[in-house]
Amino acid sequence: AQSVTQLDSQVPVFEEAPVELRCNYSSSVSVYLFWYVQYPNQGLQLLLKYLSGSTLVKGINGFEAEFNKSQTSFHLRKPSVHISDTAEYFCAVRGMEYGNKLVFGAGTILRVKS
Amino acid sequence: DTGVSQDPRHKITKRGQNVTFRCDPISEHNRLYWYRQTLGQGPEFLTYFQNEAQLEKSRLLSDRFSAERPKGSFSTLEIQHTEQGDSAMYLCASSLVIDSAGYQETQYFGPGTRLLVL
C-alpha cells in the first residue's frame, strides 16, 4: 500500500536544542519527497524537497533532510531550534506510483519550549 | 506576487445546506489541486485540474462534491447536502507544470477554508 509514516505525532524540544522529525515511505519505484510546515490557521509552506542528486537537501529556516533509499526514509533535522519553529510538519511523497497528487503523512507537531 | 487565495476562510453551515468555496491560484499556474484536511491528519487529495480539465478524482469525492475550473483560472468546490463528516479544512494548491510527467513541480498551498457543519 502507498503510505507515508511519520513516527512521532508530537516532539517537544527545548529552544536551541537539535531536533529530528522522522518520515518513512513505502514505494517500490523512484519517488520525490517533500517536507511542508503548517503554522496555526495557515496553509502549508514548502520547507524542502528531494528530487534527485545529493541525498542531503537543505531548505529554508535552517532545516535539512536526508534521503535514504535503502531505509525508505526522509528525516528532517535542524541543529538548533527556535520558538518560532513551533508548528506542524508534514512529510509528503509523489511519483509514478502515487500519481500527480501529494500523499501526506499524518504530521508531527513540533513544540519548542523556552 | 500574490500567492494562492481561498475564499471564504471560514464557513459555518447547518447540515443539509450547500456550500461553495473558491480558490484563486497563482497567476499562470496550469494545475490546481484540492485537498481535505481533518483534525490530526495530513491533507488528503480530492481532485486536480490541468487548465480547465479535471484529470483525477479521489474516491473521497462523493457525488455530493463537485469541482469546476471553467476557464482554467479560478476553481470552485461545491458540497451539496452537507453532513457533519464534511467538517474539515479544504486546501487548494496550484503549480506550474512544464513537462508532461510533472511529478517534480512544487505545489503552492493557499490558507484553506475551514468548514464546520452543525
Instruction: Please check the confidence at residue B1 and state whether its pLDDT lies above 60.
Output: no
Between the alpha carbon of residue B83 and those of residues A49, B15, B45, B67, B112, the distances in Å are: 36, 5, 19, 18, 19
Segment among A29-38, A77-86, B19-28 with least mean pLDDT: A29-38
Q: Is A91 helix (H, G, I), strand (E, B) or coil?
A: strand
User: Which residues in chain B are closer than 8 Å to A45, comparing Cβ atoms?
Assistant: 109
The pLDDT of residue B99 is: 72
User: Is the predicted pLDDT of residue A87 greater than 80, yes or no?
Assistant: yes
pLDDT at A17 over 90: yes
pLDDT digits (tens, 9 = 90+) for B101-114: 667 788 999 999 99
- List of E strands, B1-118: 5-7, 10-13, 19-24, 31-37, 44-50, 53-57, 65-68, 75-79, 88-95, 108-109, 113-117
Per-residue pLDDT tens for B76-97? 999 999 999 999 999 999 999 8
For A102, the closest of B4, B45, B56 (CB atoms) is B45
Distance CA A7, CA A18 (A): 17
CB B93 within 8 A of CB B43: no
* First-to-final CA distance of chain A: 40
Q: Do A104 and B44 touch (CB under 8 A)?
A: yes
Cell of A22: 522522522
C-alpha cell at B57: 478524482
Closest Cβ opposite residue B109 in set A44, A94, A95: A44
Residue B82, min C-alpha distance to chain A (Å): 22
Instruction: Give residue-wise pLDDT tens across range B18-54.
Output: 999 999 999 989 999 999 999 889 999 999 999 999 9
